[in-house]
Structure 1
Amino acid sequence: MALLSHLMFFCMMIVVVSSRGAIYTPPSVPHLTDRFNHVPINQGYSEFFGHSNIHLMSNGSIANLILDNSSGSGLVSRNKYNYGFFSAGIKLPSGFTSGVVIAFYLSNADLFPHNHDEIDIELLGHEKRREWVLQTNVYGNGSVHTGREEKLYLWFDPTQQFHQYSILWNTHHIVFLVDNVPVREFIHSAAISSVYPSKPMSVYATIWDASEWATHGGKYPVNYQYAPFVASFWEIEMEGCILQHPTADSAATSCSRRGFSSLDPVDGEEFAKLSQEQINGLEWATRKFMFYSYCKDTSRYKVLPPECHAN
């Protein structure tokens, strides 16, 4: 009976792990998020949309963004940045979240509606017993019809506690990081200079209904019986070159560095390329968790984008 009990317990543990996804320990990497100061949300952000669904707590250091059948919600940074390091600790809603998207991203569509840039971290909700999906995307100079998406599963349960989602953007590369582990590097080269994001951008945090496309191409829309969906944000970091008096004619160089850290993610040499530890982390994440890359989608792209040939 003792042996049978142990076997039953072991089988139950397998079911629990398989229904939530296996938990993996990533390689050791530098903790960039420990090297920049946090910006209180109520000081660094303004309301973008969904006023009644934005709840600030802990003296403005935490924001709960809510999606219900009345509206989603979002925040936008008070400043615009021309390159920098941007990060947020995010805790995702649990349960049946298909069609729900939580996004942490940079965009300048307000100033450049016809040729805007965008750098996206999007967290795509799931149907029952499926994992959240991390989608990254890069748009440059209005190329919004040419998505450069990559999709990965996460190596942890993102609904249990806060995890850090970060973007490093400078003239050398764009790096997406999760808990400081690089999950994607988009390198600036002459071949893609015309579509590399280069104009000043605002930083956004949003939750919204993406039923038309988010979960298996829109197969599973948002089910508001499970609402409200709450995404929590804290430990915001925004360190970069702040644009002064932004207009649509603003030159990319008309900005100043006003960060508190002595580290410079814009021009600092240590941010120009990945360290060997970061390369190891990137290879680990893409090998184990990536399941879609536009560079491998030959049915969508008869001629692959130029940067794909360097990968």
Structure 2
Amino acid sequence: MTTYTAFPDVQIIILLFSWVGLFIVANSAADNFYDDVDLTWGDHRAQILDEGKSLSLTLDKASGSGFRSKREYLFGRIDMEIKFVAGDSAGTVTAYYLSSEGPYHDEIDFEFLGNSSGEPYIVHTNVYAQGNGNREQKFYLWFDPTKNFHTYSIIWNLQSIIFLVDNIPVREYNNEEAIGVPFPSKQPMRVYSSLWNADQWATRGGLVKTNWSCAPFTAYYRNFNANACVASCTDCSSKMSAQGLEANGRRLLRWVQKYYMIYNYCTDLKRFPNGRPRECRRSRFM
């Protein structure tokens, strides 16, 4: 059985506190789910609770469930605290992502792949631009995400997209439009989340199926915060030019990628036998 490991280096803890000090914005201005989201599918399986302070999504054998933000955003930072399905969650996927509409959509994905009891969740990240994805990176988490709420964040601007877990950067995807690589820079996106059954691929490539005797499966949400430009209302230029990672953030990113990364499309030679994608040749941190 795989266990959750603690921080392996005291220096990383020091870096974490200095980095987080720059980014304590999550939870400071959390809104009300009644005002912020629409429950889009799943009937009673999606519920807003605690007078709008929290929300739950449930999956049973008949259906999953989901919600989306009422507003569209163009650049900024999105935070959400989530507590994932506990116990035997094999086959289930909790998706939390930004997406535009239409066939040539842009998308910035977190997907959390369930597990047999006691095994780490896998965090699957991806970036779509103009309808094309195939830019996956996957990680284990350094904690059990079913025991408590943790904050999952996306920072999106013209320079880069940064994925964060509890304010620790796990991935930075840079804008390489200058060399012909599409980047989600023009279409506004809504925030989406869903809990659904994907046992054909989610756990050990589909070898472990959903144990429906453990259903219903439920994930919980709170403290949604969008420090982002509402595309239909304001000039978004102030959110477009924010900087990428600085020195401490890059050290933390290297720590995550050294100890917890389990897949990087940039190093998948079987998938790209004719050479790595162009953006992979420009940076170690994609």
The two structures have a TM-score, normalised by structure 2, of 0.89
Look up the match of 2:78.
86
Q: CA separation in 1, counterparts of 2:209 and 2:178? A: 38
Look up the match of 2:30.
38
CA contact 2:181–2:279 (8 Å) conserved in 1: no
Residues 265/67 of structure 1: CA separation in 2 closer, same or farther (3 Å cut) = farther
Q: One-letter code of the match for 1:307?
A: E
Structure 1 counterpart SS, 2:30 = coil
Look up the match of 2:217.
229
Q: CA deviation at 1:257?
A: 5.6
**What stretches of structure 2 of length at least 5 have no aligned partner?**
none
CA contact 1:99–1:220 (8 Å) conserved in 2: yes
CA contact 1:90–1:233 (8 Å) conserved in 2: yes
2:239 paired with 1:266: yes
2:66 paired with 1:74: yes
Look up the match of 2:127.
138
Residues 88/225 of structure 1: CA separation in 2 closer, same or farther (3 Å cut) = same
Q: One-letter code of the match for 1:181?
A: I
2:12 paired with 1:23: no
**What stretches of structure 1 of length at least 5 have no aligned partner?**
1-17, 245-254, 259-263
1:152-171 alignment, distance < 5 Å = 152-171=139-158
Q: CA deviation at 1:182?
A: 0.3
CA contact 2:76–2:240 (8 Å) conserved in 1: no
CA contact 1:41–1:62 (8 Å) conserved in 2: yes
CA contact 2:154–2:163 (8 Å) conserved in 1: yes
Q: One-letter code of the match for 1:238?
A: A
CA contact 2:78–2:155 (8 Å) conserved in 1: yes
2:196 paired with 1:208: yes
The two structures have a TM-score, normalised by structure 1, of 0.82
Q: CA separation in 2, counterparts of 1:56 and 1:193? A: 43
Look up the match of 1:182.
169
Larger Rg: 1
Q: CA separation in 2, counterparts of 1:20 and 1:62? A: 29
Residues 73/257 of structure 1: CA separation in 2 closer, same or farther (3 Å cut) = farther
Q: CA deviation at 1:265?
A: 7.3
Residues 265/220 of structure 1: CA separation in 2 closer, same or farther (3 Å cut) = farther
Q: CA deviation at 1:71?
A: 1.0
Q: CA separation in 1, counterparts of 2:208 and 2:238? A: 39
C-alpha RMSD of matched pairs (Å)? 2.0
Q: CA separation in 1, counterparts of 2:238 and 2:150? A: 21
Counterpart among 61, 86, 90 of residue 98 in structure 1:
90
Q: Deviations 1:174-200 (Å, cap 9, x if unpaired)?
A: 000000000000011235655211211
Q: CA separation in 1, counterparts of 2:141 and 2:62? A: 30
For these two proteins, the number of residue pairs brought into alignment is 272
